[in-house]
Amino acid sequence: MSTQYDLVVVGSGAAAAGVASRVREAGRSVAIVDFRPFGGTCALRGCDPKKVLVSGAEAVRAARRLACRGVGGAPSVDWADLISFKRTFTDPVPAQRARGFREAGIEAFEGRARFRGPHALSAAGIELAARNIVLAAGAEPVPLGIPGQDYAITHEQFLSLEVLPPRIVFIGGGYIAAEFSNIAALAGAQVTVLQRGERMLTGFDPDLVGWLMESFRSLGITVETGVTVAAIERAEPSRNARVRERMSHALRVRYSSGAHEASIDADLVVHAAGRRPALQALELEAGGVAVDGHGRLRLNQWLQSVSNPAVYAAGDAAQCGPPLTPVAGRDAGIVAANLIEGNRRAADYRAVPTVAFTMPPIAAVGLGETAAREASRSLRVHCRRASDWYTARRLAEPVYGFKLLVDEASRRILGAHLVGPAAEETINLFALAIRENLSTDALREALFAYPTAASDIASML
């Protein structure tokens, strides 16, 4: 059976849904295909469920910080309850998305899409022929490539754990390891992070990450950096019957740090060591879709394949901007406009704010210090640990600080880096300032509600 469409979109996440709905609204015939429940990573396996877990963990941390400051009792995370609460967000999504597609007149197929020609895909035994194809297939974990890698679970399985095991090792030091290690530690697990790089969260400012690590330590998280993980093994059963019973699923992670070899036992190992565009299964060659030496799609500024003009890409699969939901949504708008009106809109990834929802959160937008020094001859760095400011003291939060990178000649902000209370919200104001080219005078003169973290901006400048 073969069906012809104006557009077939691979995926059903933020990027896919955004392209499909806009192109359908323009009167074109559209099909969407996903081999997993409809909804994509953010809604089902990423941002949204993660932040529900963060909310529970944050509440516990806030109560602990304010103990003896007016808050009594000893709250704790009830993991099973928290996961049930999370499900109230994720469970309805696939049916809601399916209904949304149906009501919009978008045909939705369940199956893994593979190219069968420059304008043709197959999925679930059906041939889908299309004038245009959009690859919005997202990203997938990069295989660890070590013996025993299958013993490690992914972020997705972590988000569905019915029981939180007592000892957890995270392999990796990026967003997922940082955020999930905080959740697990606040939920009562003994947590170790094994990170290959020199520090965690290498995409964020090193000074602010340094301050944040104090919080990791206070949560009892052990962070080992400069580590190469060699293997994951089943740990040998203990001679002690009671220990053996408790450790029936125990694992041992072997790693090296320089010349030093070590191992750590855990009940659970989580793979948090990076993701890559999910392109392997698409059999791109059959569609004449070129990739570069790193296996990434070769796209022009219109997010269109350089080798097959019928094919566009958006979101994590395109990886032209950072792998974040707002970028996937923006890509969707660009690709849809180019499909409907012809190639006119190019992507612009300036001033994309990013947040790691650690406790407290760390956030960044614009240039880092090294890039800002290269870009500006009159760079002024406003950097301060602000734990003594009201915003931090009110919450008994010891980690609060900022680094603002300002070009003195133009009085424009080149980069903003925040850690501490409300960083995840305040960063949006800096994103707006950079995007709209607001001067530091304009930001200083703006009246922000008081007392809010935004009202600290004038003092930061």
Ligand X SMILES: Cc1cc2nc3c(=O)[nH]c(=O)nc-3n(C[C@H](O)[C@H](O)[C@H](O)COP(=O)(O)OP(=O)(O)OC[C@H]3O[C@@H](n4cnc5c(N)ncnc54)[C@H](O)[C@@H]3O)c2cc1C
Residues lying near ligand X in the complex (CB under 6 A):
10-16, 33-36, 40-42, 46-47, 50, 112-113, 136-138, 155, 176, 278, 281-282, 315-317, 323-326, 328
Between 40 and 415, whose beta carbon lies closer to ligand X? 40
For residue 15, the minimal CB distance to ligand X (Å) is 3
Between 40 and 172, whose beta carbon lies closer to ligand X? 40
For residue 46, the minimal CB distance to ligand X (Å) is 3
What the block records as the tokens of 64 is 């602990």
Between 86 and 155, whose beta carbon lies closer to ligand X? 155
Pairing of strands 362-366, 354-356: antiparallel
What number of other Cβ atoms are within 10 A of residue 243's Cβ?
12
For residue 438, the minimal CB distance to ligand X (Å) is 23
Pairing of strands 126-135, 311-313: parallel
Running DSSP on this structure, what letter comes out for residue 172?
-
Residue 38 contacts residue 12 (beta carbons within 8 Å): yes
Between 41 and 376, whose beta carbon lies closer to ligand X? 41
For residue 256, the minimal CB distance to ligand X (Å) is 27
Between 287 and 420, whose beta carbon lies closer to ligand X? 287
For residue 89, the minimal CB distance to ligand X (Å) is 14
For residue 49, the minimal CB distance to ligand X (Å) is 8
Pairing of strands 126-135, 139-141: unpaired
Beta bridge partners of 135: 10, 313
Sign of CA dihedral 68, 74, 75, 77: positive
Between 177 and 221, whose beta carbon lies closer to ligand X? 177
CA angle 349, 351, 354 (to 5 degrees): 95
- Nearest CA-CA partner of 304 in 322, 290, 324, 321: 290
Q: Give one word for 295, left, alpha or beta, with left for phi > 0 and alpha for psi -120 to 50.
A: left
